[in-house]
Amino acid sequence: MKYRVLVVDDSPFMRKLISDMIESDPDFRVIGTAKNGFEAVEMVRDLQPDVVTLDVEMPGMGGLETLRQILRTHPVPVLMVSNQTEAGAGVTISALESGAVDFVHKPAGIFAVEHVRDELLNKLKAAAKVRVPRYSEAAASHKAEKPARALSMPAKGKMSTLPSNTFEHLFAIGTSTGGPKALQTVLTALPEDFAHPILIVQHMPPKFTRSLARRLDDLCKIRVIEAEDGQVIEGGVAYLAPGGYHMEAVFQEPRTYRISLNQNTPRNGHRPSVDVLFESVSRLPYLRLHYILMTGMGSDGARAMLAAKKKGAASTIAEAEETCVVFGMPKAAIALGGVDYVLPLGKIAEKMIALAN
């Protein structure tokens, strides 16, 4: 059975280019194209596609409002198509929070088409299998946009971070497809006095990780920042690996922990890689170490989680299939036997708090 795709973009050239890329795979058939959000909503209703590609930036009804209208009336998996700009990144992050399954970049030129095509087809295949809930205005009401703060400034009203040698636990989280919304669920549930650091790898390119960190910092009681090379790790802060860089945690005497970033070869097709983060965390002395894998395609993080468990990790946690957008990375870790707790998304923060106490 072929997956039926609706392509939405205000550019005739981009509609043709995306349609051609999709139909190069025999598993897909483009059943229609829409040039704006109003057409898109009507065509989703009339054609009932299996998946939609949706331009982030369109005149009139923009991509974000179009997404919400589609999910409110006829829920269907939506893959956002984003420009590689700071503005495009911000809107894309909001779209992922609102229920988009994933996103791809628009090709920057004719030489980038082949790479974008492979990514587009892989993500479309994953998206087409996702069950999408109806968009809820009530559930989204707390997500109203707030002005982004500079990353170096602590959030007003948030507790000061603790010196790096005062915390006893460290949490490492890996996630991919569906991760921005999953991270929001977990991190917003942590209290202001959560006194331990969290290191996060979210498979995402540059600019998008910065926008995601800002957005999460606006919503969370703890601080959330994009990590910087050489930065001292402090309690009560979540550090997000920047797109394009592996993130490692390193130890220095006297009992100081720092962030180390590098652009070494991608692992499991990713940079940042969850395996790289987890392996570095496992080398840290004195701390009780916790590893968490959430929604995502592939198996990044699974082997390193198993190795950490064998080495004596304080805990290893995988998100349960029932709440994963894509049950790939957690499933791989469970299959290897590296998981202590399999928890639905809404229970992960609760377990983190209990473990830290």
Q: Give me the active site residues, please.
A: 176, 203, 300
| Beta carbons of 277 and 174 less than 8 angstroms apart | yes
Instruction: Give the H or E element holding residue 42.
Output: helix 37-47
d(C-alpha 315, C-alpha 352), whole Å: 10
Among candidate residues 285, 284, 268, the one with its CA nearest the CA of residue 276 = 268
Beta-carbon contacts of residue 277 (< 8 Å; ≥ 6 apart): 172, 174, 199, 201, 241, 246, 247, 248, 249, 301, 304
Positive or negative CA dihedral for 179, 184, 185, 190?
Answer: positive
The tokens for 186 are 């977990």
CA distance 5 to 128: 9
Q: Is 39 helix (H, G, I), strand (E, B) or coil?
A: helix
Q: Round to whole Å and give the CA distance between 212 and 17.
A: 28
Of 239, 235, 165, the C-alpha closest to 201 is 239
Counting Cβ atoms within 10 Å, is residue 269 exposed (0-12), middle (13-18) or buried (19+)?
Answer: exposed
Beta carbons of 82 and 106 less than 8 angstroms apart: yes
